[in-house]
């Protein structure tokens, strides 16, 4: 298996632009997580889905952030409009939920720089 | 006070030394995760445990539910173990993880 795939790996954009980050989870996994990592705040959960349904989006910082999972093999995290404080590494992870979540498999991350 | 706290924040060791990283949590959890983040940024799940002890190669993770404490041990440390080690508590009602701040480990040859 190729593991969790994220694209792009690096994104540099100007303040005010729309940014879309993409994630393909491991085939067969039914839980998907979006995380953000910064020096100041460390790793934070933004949102997670079970069976394509958003379960907990309490970590989404504000309305500028939105996430979708139209099917089991694809998810997007969109920031519109972007701001310099959104600069961070965004990780996607997937897992298999049966009775409870198993270990999470992380993608390589997308390093976002907003100037 | 963070819900999940790690110590030490930084740790430098000589190759071959036995290493211990500690994690304490203040809320109820269903499982405790240990993650490793390589210098290049990639994150790998090392362990997920809810009781007792797990071992994988030179890595050992333990958890004491009553004391709300977990430890990660590395035996016969090697420079390639240099990384950031992060513990995370999984909430009892779902899949949310709350992360510690991480421990930067440097193993010198």
Q: What does the DSSP assignment read for B17-70? A: --EEEEEEESS-EEEEEEEEE-TTS-EEEEEEESSEEEEETTEEEEEETTTTEE
**Range A9-25 average pLDDT:** 97
Q: How far is B71 from chain A (nearest CA, A)?
A: 18
Strands A74-79 and A65-71: antiparallel
Question: Would you call A101 and B44 a contact, using CB atoms and an 8 Å cutoff?
Answer: no
Please give the residue of chain A at the shortest CA–CA distance from B46. Answer: A103
- Residue A80 near residue A89 (C-beta atoms within 8 A): no
Q: Residue B1 pLDDT more than 60?
A: no
**Range A25-38 average pLDDT:** 95
Question: Would you call B41 and A109 a contact, using CB atoms and an 8 Å cutoff?
Answer: yes
Q: Residue B50 pLDDT more than 70?
A: yes
Interface of A with B (CB under 8 A): 31, 33, 42-45, 48, 50, 55-56, 89, 91, 93, 95, 97, 100-106, 108-109, 111
The pLDDT-based confidence of B56 (bands split at 50, 70, 90) is very high
Interface of B with A (CB under 8 A): 30-31, 33, 35, 41-45, 48, 86, 88, 90, 94-102
Distance, in Å, from the CA atom of A22 to the CA atom of B65, rounded to the nearest integer, reads 37
How many other C-beta atoms can be found within 10 angstroms of the C-beta atom of residue B79?
12
Q: Residue B9 pLDDT more than 70?
A: yes
**Range A5-30 average pLDDT:** 97
Average pLDDT, chain B: 93
Chain A residues with CB under 8 Å of B45 CB are: 103-106
CA angle B18, B89, B77 (to 5 degrees): 15
The pLDDT-based confidence of A100 (bands split at 50, 70, 90) is low
Distance, in Å, from the CA atom of B107 to the CA atom of B45, rounded to the nearest integer, reads 20
Question: Would you call A45 and B97 a contact, using CB atoms and an 8 Å cutoff?
Answer: yes
The pLDDT-based confidence of A19 (bands split at 50, 70, 90) is very high
Task: Please tell me the predicted confidence (pLDDT) of residue A1.
Answer: 64
Task: Please tell me the predicted confidence (pLDDT) of residue B95.
Answer: 82
Which letter does DSSP use for residue A8 in this model? -
Query: Who's near A40: CB < 8 A, 6+ residues apart?
Result: none
């Amino acid at each position: 298996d190729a593991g969790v795939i994220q694209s792009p790996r690096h994104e540099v954009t100007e303040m005010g632009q729309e940014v879309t980050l993409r994630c393909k989870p491991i085939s067969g996994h039914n839980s998907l997580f979006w995380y953000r990592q910064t020096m100041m705040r460390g790793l934070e959960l933004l949102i997670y889905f079970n069976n394509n349904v958003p379960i907990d989006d309490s970590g989404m910082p504000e309305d500028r952030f939105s996430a979708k999972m139209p099917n089991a093999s694809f998810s997007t995290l969109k920031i519109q409009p972007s701001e310099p404080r959104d600069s961070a590494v965004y990780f996607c992870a997937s897992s298999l939920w049966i009775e409870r979540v198993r270990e999470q498999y992380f993608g390589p991350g997308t390093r976002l720089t907003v100037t | 006070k963070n819900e999940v706290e790690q110590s030490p924040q930084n740790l430098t060791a000589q190759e071959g030394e036995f290493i211990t990283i500690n994690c304490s949590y203040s809320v109820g959890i269903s499982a405790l995760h240990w993650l490793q983040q390589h210098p290049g940024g990639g994150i790998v799940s090392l362990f997920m445990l809810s009781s007792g002890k797990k071992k994988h190669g030179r890595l050992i993770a333990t958890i004491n539910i009553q004391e709300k404490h977990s430890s990660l041990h590395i035996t016969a440390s090697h420079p390639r173990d240099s990384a950031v080690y992060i513990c995370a508590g999984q909430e009892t009602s779902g899949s949310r993880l709350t992360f510690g701040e991480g421990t930067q480990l440097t193993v010198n040859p």
